[in-house]
Amino acid sequence: MHVFEKAPAKINLTLDVLYKRPDQYHEVEMVMTTVDLADRLELIHLNQDVIQIESESKYVPNDERNLAYVAADLIKKTYKINSGVQIKIEKQIPVAAGLAGGSSDAAATLRALNRLWSLNRSLDELAALGAQIGSDVPFCVYNRTGLAQGRGEQITHLPPPPSCWAVLAKPIIGVSTESVYQNLNLQTIKHPNTKAMVAAINNSNYDQMVKYVGNVLEDVTLPLHPEVTQIKTMMKQSGADAVLMSGSGPTVFGLTRQQSRADRIYNSLKGFCQDVFVVRLLG
């Protein structure tokens, strides 16, 4: 018995931080959507009570540190499953990139095991479980455009964004989400207009959507990594309508409606960055 499951990357159209909470997390407001760059997972039922992870990527752990392992372990404990699973992960999403690759693998594992083991649990229940794994996991469980609040785990669904292309470019640096949040100066941040972004998406208004992108975590990552600003400048010069860092970075995305312009942005970045992708917004 085996099932396949896709684990798409996400991008942040907005990311705002409201305040630091007593539990050391930050209260956030973020509009996020999925893109058609995805890891592919195959999950194979094992009679033996073990969780095995297989991945050719040298950047992800093949043991209990892998977020897909954490998700499988949580499902087994929560629903008292005595059998095991082998999880093969074909990694396409760059690691530690701000694209929620690990969170999406964990979410895909929850959805896939729900099917493999006929658990018949709702997405809401899986999303609540996912919150125990990481703040981005509930969003990834639903796999659709949404407003994320709280520490990121409270999701309000939104319609898919207006159809457009995104060019993603990641410089060869990894960024620690924890240290980016810890180094944010709450006194100086310029808050994005989350309400306007939500309205833009509800009204399927591309011009308003590109107008209101914003990410307060750029304040921390950009000064530390000048190549992120360089990528933003190159994307703007190549004609992107909006250019923003996703999550805690360092990946930058540029939005355009025209495929020819997406190709132009891709070509201008390809010599500069190893990881460049032209993708559609899914939502």
Ligand X SMILES: Nc1ncnc2c1ncn2[C@@H]1O[C@H](COP(=O)(O)OP(=O)(O)OP(=O)(O)O)[C@@H](O)[C@H]1O
Which residues are near ligand X by CB under 6 A?
Answer: 60-61, 65-68, 89, 95-103, 105, 136, 177, 247-248
**Is residue 73 annotated as a catalytic residue, yes or no?**
no
**Which residues contact residue 158 at a Cβ distance below 8 angstroms, ignoring those fewer than 6 apart?**
31, 144, 145, 146, 147, 198, 201, 202, 283
Instruction: Label residue 111 exposed, middle or buried (CB < 10 Å: 0-12, 13-18, 19+).
Output: buried
The response to whether 104 counts as a known ligand-binding position is: yes
Of ligand X, ligand CDM, none, which one sits near residue 68, judging by CB under 5 to 8 A according to partner kind? Answer: ligand X
Instruction: Answer yes or no whether residue 178 interacts with ligand CDM by CB under 6 A.
Output: yes
137: left (phi over 0), alpha (psi -120 to 50) or beta: alpha
**Is residue 10 annotated as a catalytic residue, yes or no?**
yes
Q: Are 85 and 51 in contact (CB under 8 A)?
A: yes
**How many of the other CB atoms lie within 10 Å of CB of 76?**
18
- Closest distance of CB 140 from ligand CDM, Å: 9
Instruction: Answer yes or no whether residue 34 interacts with ligand CDM by CB under 6 A.
Output: no
**Structure tokens belonging to residue 94:** 């760059």
- Closest distance of CB 263 from ligand CDM, Å: 28
Of ligand X, ligand CDM, none, which one sits near residue 151, judging by CB under 5 to 8 A according to partner kind? Answer: ligand CDM
Instruction: Answer yes or no whether residue 103 interacts with ligand CDM by CB under 6 A.
Output: yes
| Sign of the Cα pseudo-torsion (202, 204, 104, 195, in order) | negative
Residues 127-146 that bind ligand CDM (CB under 6 A): 134-136
The phi, psi pair for 104, rounded to 5°, reads -70, -35
- Closest distance of CB 11 from ligand X, Å: 9
**Residues forming the annotated binding site?**
94-104
State the catalytic residues.
10, 136
The site for ligand CDM (CB under 6 A) is made up of 12, 15, 25-26, 28, 30, 100, 103, 134-136, 151-152, 177-178, 181, 247-248
